[in-house]
Amino acid sequence: MEHSSEQQADGVPLSASGRTASPVPAGAKVRRLAWSMVQNTLYRYSFHTWSGWRAFLLRCFGAKIGKQCTIRRTSRVYYPWLLEMGDLACLGDEAEVYNLGHVTIGRRATISQQAYLCAGTHDFTRMDMPLITRPIDIGADAWICARALVGPGVTIGEGAVVGAAAVAMKDVPPWKIAAGNRAVIVGERRLAGSHD
């Protein structure tokens, strides 16, 4: 009896090596490898103030980067071609954009240091745990504070704040402040000088 290159174990597709088959196409793996080399050299070891250079590198790999964005050299982007940043947006030190799905960061939005945007998960109800990608949308003027996590499929509304170390697994409405694990609305953002 001949064996195909992919076998099944309890209904789970396996490669010839006996591992689950990768959902990532070969072309994307090659692009990812090339980007990884650029990110770990030309991007990471550029001068701290060279945001324009890092924006150029991201654009070379398909990112849509607006004008005058602040992009710190220790930030990390998994798939540049699935990233969009509006004008004057900020990607802080050690911020990580794990964008297996599309991630949009709106105009003047700030992703603070060590914040984590995760646009992918797995279906744990299945043995093969297939990859699920869902877009993340960070609205204009929103602020994702230090070490906060924004999960797959989440929309952070315009002007909203996700507090430090908060875990936002659900949408945050515009101009609201969310904090905690899981993040809940704890207040409303009011700009200095604004009147009701």
Confidence check: pLDDT of 53 > 80: yes
- The candidate with the shortest Cα–Cα distance to 173, out of 151, 195, 142, is 142
Q: pLDDT digit string (tens) for 134-156?
A: 999 999 999 999 999 999 999 99
CB 167 within 8 A of CB 184: no
CB 113 within 8 A of CB 95: yes
What is the distance of C-alpha 86 from the center of its chain?
A: 15
CATH number of 25-188: 2.160.10.10
How many CA atoms does the CB half-sphere of 19 hold within 13 Å? 4
d(CA 95, CA 90): 10
What pTM, to 2 d.p., does this model score? 0.85
27-31, 96-100, 119-123: the lowest-pLDDT one: 27-31
Confidence check: pLDDT of 80 > 60: yes
What residues form DSSP beta bridges with 71?
A: 91
Give the model's confidence band at 191: pLDDT under 50 very low, under 70 low, under 90 confident, else very high.
confident
Give the model's confidence band at 27: pLDDT under 50 very low, under 70 low, under 90 confident, else very high.
confident
Confidence check: pLDDT of 101 > 50: yes
d(CA 97, CA 105): 10
Give the model's confidence band at 49: pLDDT under 50 very low, under 70 low, under 90 confident, else very high.
very high
d(CA 157, CA 169): 13
Q: pLDDT digit string (tens) for 157-172?
A: 999 999 999 999 999 9
- Confidence (pLDDT) at 28: 84
* Domains in the chain: boundaries: 25-188
**In 3-state terms, what secondary structure has residue 34?**
helix
Confidence check: pLDDT of 18 > 70: no
